[in-house]
């Protein structure tokens, strides 16, 4: 089976739009919340319903394609990335925001083939923001081309640093260290609670940099392509090439900016996806 990016993109886009309807329908209602690894790592019926729906869409259209999804992995499925066409899905990224009806959560979907990201789609259904990218074809917000900002100076940059949904003392200490190291050197710091939307924000020039330790492949796969196609960089937090399974990432409007932030960061080692 050869990989036809246009067919894959069309199916993915339709599936994400339909999944958006499930999220919109549930958004302002009371949610049944269950905790996962700790008391701030949350999942709702909507996360599970969206993931189920996307899996059945993929099975119908591409029975041979592989799948990695946040809730499937939470339920015990393997997180194996091979050379086969693989869909990587976070059904609701920013679940904490979703639970609170803070209108900043999204569906994040990427399709990889031979480990290259060919399709990236991030959709915030509440605000109707659809970010899309195909490898080598640019990045778009609601069909209009987007570009990263032209900022290269640390002192003028708006940087996103997340707290993360984890109460591990070592992880919390690393968050505080990095925020402290940056706060008097940047223009401003933000934490909006969705890795995929943070990356979309860098891609569309709304912020200049975002980094996080502890993210998973489903949080960043789509965003990585969208940032790169918008002219930005997406690399490892020590400066080398990004390893999607390494649980850490920094993206920025330019390599010059990323390389000013990297020396200020305290590295955190985490178990790979």
What are the residues binding ligand IPD (CB under 6 A)? 70, 90, 93-95, 162, 164-165, 193-195, 212, 214-215, 219
Which residues are documented as binding site for Mg(2+)? Answer: 70, 90, 93, 219
Closer of 147 and 190 to ligand IPD (Cβ)? 190
Closer of 70 and 151 to ligand IPD (Cβ)? 70
Give the shortest CB-224-to-ligand IPD separation in angstroms.
14
Give the shortest CB-131-to-ligand IPD separation in angstroms.
15
Closer of 194 and 260 to ligand IPD (Cβ)? 194
Q: Give the 3-state secondary structure percentages of the chain, helix then strand then coil, rounded to 5.
A: 35, 25, 40
Parallel/antiparallel/unpaired status of strands 144-145 and 116-124: unpaired
Q: Where are the beta strands (DSSP E) in 23-152?
A: 33-35, 42-44, 66-69, 86-93, 106-113, 116-124, 129-134, 139-141, 144-145
Pull the structure tokens for residue 238. 């020590």
Give the shortest CB-155-to-ligand IPD separation in angstroms.
25
Give the shortest CB-59-to-ligand IPD separation in angstroms.
22
Half-sphere exposure of 102 (CA within 13 A, CB side): 12
Q: Comparing C-alpha atoms, which of 172, 222, 166, 217 is closest to residue 197?
A: 222
Which residues are documented as binding site? Answer: 70, 90, 93, 219
Give the list of residues 6+ apart from residue 131 with CB closer than 8 angstroms, or none.
120, 121, 122, 123, 139, 140, 141, 146, 200, 203, 204, 222, 226
Give the shortest CB-218-to-ligand IPD separation in angstroms.
7
Closer of 95 and 246 to ligand IPD (Cβ)? 95
Helix (H) or strand (E) holding 234: strand 233-235
Q: Comparing C-alpha atoms, which of 44, 66, 45, 57 is closest to residue 16?
A: 57
Closer of 112 and 161 to ligand IPD (Cβ)? 161
159 close to 189: Cβ distance less than 8 angstroms:
yes
């Amino acid at each position: 089976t050869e990989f036809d990016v246009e067919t894959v993109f069309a199916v993915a886009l339709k599936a994400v739009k339909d999944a958006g309807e499930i999220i919109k329908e549930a958004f302002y209602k009371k949610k049944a919340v269950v905790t996962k690894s700790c008391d701030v790592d949350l999942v709702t019926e909507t996360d599970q319903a969206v993931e189920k729906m996307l899996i059945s869409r993929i099975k119908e259209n591409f029975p041979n394609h592989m799948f990695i999804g946040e809730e499937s992995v939470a339920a015990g499925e393997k997180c194996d990335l091979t050379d086969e066409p693989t869909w990587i899905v976070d059904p609701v990224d920013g679940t904490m925001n979703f639970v609170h009806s803070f209108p900043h959560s999204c569906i994040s979907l990427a399709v990889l083939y031979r480990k290259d990201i060919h399709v990236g789609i991030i959709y915030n259904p509440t605000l109707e923001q659809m970010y899309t990218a195909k490898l080598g074809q640019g990045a778009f917000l609601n069909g209009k081309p987007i570009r990263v900002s032209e900022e290269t100076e640390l002192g003028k940059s708006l940087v996103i640093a997340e707290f993360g949904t984890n109460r591990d003392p070592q992880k919390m200490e690393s968050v505080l260290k990095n925020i402290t190291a940056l706060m008097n050197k940047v223009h401003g710091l933000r934490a909006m609670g969705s890795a995929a939307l943070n990356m979309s924000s860098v891609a569309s020039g709304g912020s200049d940099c975002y980094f996080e330790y502890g993210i998973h492949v489903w949080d960043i796969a789509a965003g990585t392509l969208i940032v790169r196609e918008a002219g930005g960089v997406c690399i490892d937090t020590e400066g080398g090439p990004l390893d999607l399974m390494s649980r850490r990432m920094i993206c920025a409007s330019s390599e010059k900016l990323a390389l000013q932030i990297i020396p200020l960061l305290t590295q955190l080692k985490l178990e790979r996806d």
